[in-house]
């Protein structure tokens, strides 16, 4: 019972310490994919930061969906090849390929509809049909003589 009291008291002290020191932390978190978080207050208040993160997440979801559609289509194609003429297996493979084609149609439709609606509602700031990709930045090493 004494150990439990010590654990509870130390956890409560830790939480109080974290709460009192939370407003003193001024350091920004830097992520190589999306940049610095928490440095630009004006961008966060105007909503531009939300728009930027939404676009990054939306493009990532579209990419993952496209990869899933491709994998599912290839899975159906391989099952069709391996079916060896068995009608039930051919039908199951054909259904997988049809479902992946419908998924691709839904994915492209959602991308297009969101793109046009966002352009109508938010203007050029929210251009989801023109994604920007972050490229890694490399530093050049220049050897010094000596």
The answer to whether position 50 is within a domain reads: no
pTM for this predicted structure: 0.55
Mean pLDDT of the chain: 74
The answer to whether position 46 is within a domain reads: no
The answer to whether position 88 is within a domain reads: yes
In the chain, at which residue ranges do the beta strands (DSSP E only) sit? 29-31, 35-37
The answer to whether position 56 is within a domain reads: no
The answer to whether position 102 is within a domain reads: yes
Instruction: Residue 113: give the domain boundaries.
Output: 84-129
Q: Give the separation between CA 112 and CA 116, rounded to whole angstroms.
A: 6
pLDDT > 90 in the chain, percent: 29
Place of tokens 């956890």: 11
pLDDT confidence of 40, banded at 50, 70, 90?
A: low
The answer to whether position 54 is within a domain reads: no
The answer to whether position 103 is within a domain reads: yes
The domain total for the chain is 1
The answer to whether position 78 is within a domain reads: no
Q: Give the separation between CA 39 and CA 30, rounded to whole angstroms.
A: 10
């Amino acid at each position: 019972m004494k150990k439990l009291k010590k654990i509870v008291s130390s956890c409560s002290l830790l939480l109080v310490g974290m709460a009192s020191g939370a407003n003193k932390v001024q350091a920004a978190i830097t992520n190589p994919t999306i940049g610095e978080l928490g440095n630009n207050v004006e961008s966060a208040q105007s909503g531009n930061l939300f728009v930027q993160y939404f676009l990054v997440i939306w493009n990532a979801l579209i990419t993952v969906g496209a990869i899933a559609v491709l994998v599912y289509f290839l899975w159906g194609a391989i099952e069709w090849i391996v079916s060896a003429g068995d009608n039930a297996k051919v039908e199951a493979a054909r259904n997988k390929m049809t479902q992946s084609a419908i998924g691709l149609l839904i994915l492209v439709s959602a991308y297009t509809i969101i793109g046009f609606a966002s352009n109508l509602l938010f203007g050029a700031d929210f251009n989801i049909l023109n994604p920007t990709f972050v490229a890694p930045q490399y530093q050049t090493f220049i050897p010094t003589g000596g």
